[in-house]
Amino acid sequence: MSDNSLTITDNRNGRTYEIAITHDTIRAMDLRQIKVNPDDFGLMSYDPAFKNTASTISEITFIDGDKGILRYRGYPIEQLAKNCTFLEVAYLIIAGVLPTKAELEEYDGFIQRHILVHENIKDLIQGFRYDAHPMSMLISMVSALSTFYPGARNVDNPDNRQLQMTRLVAKMPTLAAFAYRFSMGYPIIYPDPDLSYAGNFLNMMFRRAEPKYIPDPVLERTLDVLFILHADHEQNCGTNAMRSVGSSRVDPYSATAAAAAALYGPLHGGANEAVLRMLYDIGGVENVPAYIERVKAGEFRLMGFGHRVYKNHDPRATIIKEMAHEVFEVTGKNPLLDIALELETIALEDEYFVSRKLYPNVDFYSGIIYQAMGLPMTMFPVMFAIPRTVGWLAQWQELITDSEQAIARPRQIYLGNDLMEYVPIDKRG
Ligand code: ACO
């Protein structure tokens, strides 16, 4: 018997089975052999919400939640945020290696070439109601891209995959800015090829009548770093949607629309909006202690605190907090910052939060920064979707090229009716 194995005794019939353990994991399919009768289906594992199920072997992102570690392709997030541009990190996440100078210049050129969207997208936008949520518009526009690029369906061709991934990374900021401008009633602004990825996004969002938009360097760099911090986070809800939908071999635009739809939910990409609403509710620093007492009494949760994976600090939150002060020197201080700082100070010393390992997460400060930059709360999930597209695409590519993967199709435990006899409608009830 191998040391790296699990011995299971089936107490229904006394039989034992030896199951291999690899990477601290057993293969669920190895349970299938465990049967009482030869025609039984075999044993399954039950795991709603995949709380203890690995759905893939991946080489993209590493998280150690107990130690507060996040790495893309092995590189610590702190080093990437300090030294790289977002496009450099996008290249790293998708290609698996950091680009050389020449490779980065070439990638930047590809992105610039694909940054525009078909003019008919503007007509699509005009079809929305004046108060349509920007994230709903973004999801629809991403999905619509599959109609403009029907060749994207050929997902098994590596060159074709590369082309579609570049297109999507390039077009996301353009679509996001279109959604914002429409919701504000502003005319659409076209991309400026002289600007960086983040700088151009600021241009498409905020340019008014000036002949040339010059982004503030602090805001441009902050946005770039925020994009780096949000680029991937292994198998979260949106990524799981990307992989699950992509496993049907649908085109990447349709799969990305599904991933963005998952991100739209308040339990996922909507948390930084919830943080802002909470800070408004609290109203002032003097109200923080009473608010904390209500959280401890179980009335509600402290939004932006706690994480399913990070049971130590969230490394992204540490980086964002440092940047917040630089941003406020440009934009003027967001009055909500004092409330947030007070909340954090009290919570980090309080036994309730300490014993439950509740620390500020990435969303605690990102909303305050986005608001200071002039973004409405409805744009927050959109700001998340732009960089996360890189992670979704890298994970999609990994799925498509993984020979162990097949169409995602979970099992169920059926507890509904036994066989029923059809009853004509006039005989029912
Ligand atoms: N405020 C107060 N108490 C909390 C909080 C919080 N934010 N989060 C967890 N707890 C408490 C729970 O009440 C529970 O206490 P108990 O043991 O006395 O019952 C304990 O901590 C464990 O909570 P779980 O719900 O089991 O923790 P889980 O890891 O499943 O939840 C989650 C993680 C959903 C993020 C949670 O911490 C939360 O709701 N936080 C607020 C929402 C938020 O900020 N979400 C953004 C996450 S980051 C992102 O999505 C990018």
First vs last C-alpha separation in the chain: 60
In the structure encoding, which two tokens stand for residue 104, read together? Answer: 């980065």
pLDDT of residue 328: 93
Q: Is the CB of 32 under 6 A from ligand 1?
A: no
Catalytic site includes residue 251: no
Cα 381 to averaged position of ligand 1 atoms, centre (Å): 20
pLDDT of residue 24: 97
Which protein residue has the closest C-alpha to ligand 1 atom 44? 304
User: Using one digit for the tens of pLDDT, what is the confidence trace for 158-194?
Assistant: 999 999 999 999 999 999 999 999 999 999 999 998 9
Cα 271 to averaged position of ligand 1 atoms, centre (Å): 12
User: Using one digit for the tens of pLDDT, what is the confidence trace for 99-125?
Assistant: 999 999 999 999 999 999 999 999 999
User: Using one digit for the tens of pLDDT, what is the confidence trace for 35-82?
Assistant: 999 999 999 999 999 999 999 999 999 999 999 999 999 999 999 999
User: Using one digit for the tens of pLDDT, what is the confidence trace for 238-289?
Assistant: 999 999 999 999 999 999 999 999 999 888 888 888 899 999 999 999 999 9
How many Cβ atoms from other residues are within 10 Å of residue 186's Cβ? 14
In the structure encoding, which two tokens stand for residue 61, read together? Answer: 């992102």
Q: Among 61, 229, 300, 308, say which to mutate for ligand 1: greatest number of ligand atoms within 8 Å of CB.
A: 308
* Per-residue exposure over 236-271, b if at least 16 CB sit within 10 Å of its own CB, e if not: bbbbbbbbbbbbeebbbbbbbbbbbbbbbeeeebbb
Which protein residue has the closest C-alpha to ligand 1 atom 22? 356
pLDDT of residue 124: 97
* CA-305 nearest atom, ligand 1: 7
pLDDT level of residue 308 (50, 70, 90 thresholds): confident
Q: Is the CB of 295 under 6 A from ligand 1?
A: yes
Average pLDDT of the chain, as a whole number: 96
For the chain, give the percent of residues with pLDDT over 90: 90
Per residue, what are the HEC states of 83-100? Answer: HCCHHHHHHHHHHCCCCC
Contact residues for 255 (Cβ-Cβ < 8 A; gap 6+): 241, 242, 245, 246, 392, 396
Which protein residue has the closest C-alpha to ligand 1 atom 4? 301
| Nearest alpha-carbon partner for 391 in 176, 200, 165, 199 | 165
Q: Is the CB of 268 under 6 A from ligand 1?
A: yes
pLDDT of residue 363: 86
pLDDT level of residue 14 (50, 70, 90 thresholds): very high
- Tell me the DSSP string of 6-24: EEEEETTTTEEEEEE-BTT
User: Using one digit for the tens of pLDDT, what is the confidence trace for 363-393?
Assistant: 888 999 999 999 999 999 999 999 999 999 9
Q: Is the CB of 363 under 6 A from ligand 1?
A: yes
Q: What does residue 215 show for φ and ψ, rounded to 5 degrees? A: -70, 145
Select which of 268, 313, 338, 402 is catalytic: 268
For the chain, give the percent of residues with pLDDT over 70: 100
Select which of 224, 230, 233, 307 is catalytic: 307
C-alpha span between 336 and 284 (Å, rounded): 8
Is 1's pLDDT higher than 80? no
Q: Is the CB of 303 under 6 A from ligand 1?
A: yes
Is 224's pLDDT higher than 80? yes
Which protein residue has the closest C-alpha to ligand 1 atom 2? 301
Q: Is the CB of 302 under 6 A from ligand 1?
A: yes
pLDDT of residue 333: 86
C-alpha span between 418 and 409 (Å, rounded): 23
Cβ neighbourhood burial of 377 (10 Å; 0-12, 13-18, 19+)? middle
C-alpha span between 347 and 314 (Å, rounded): 15
Q: Is the CB of 356 under 6 A from ligand 1?
A: yes
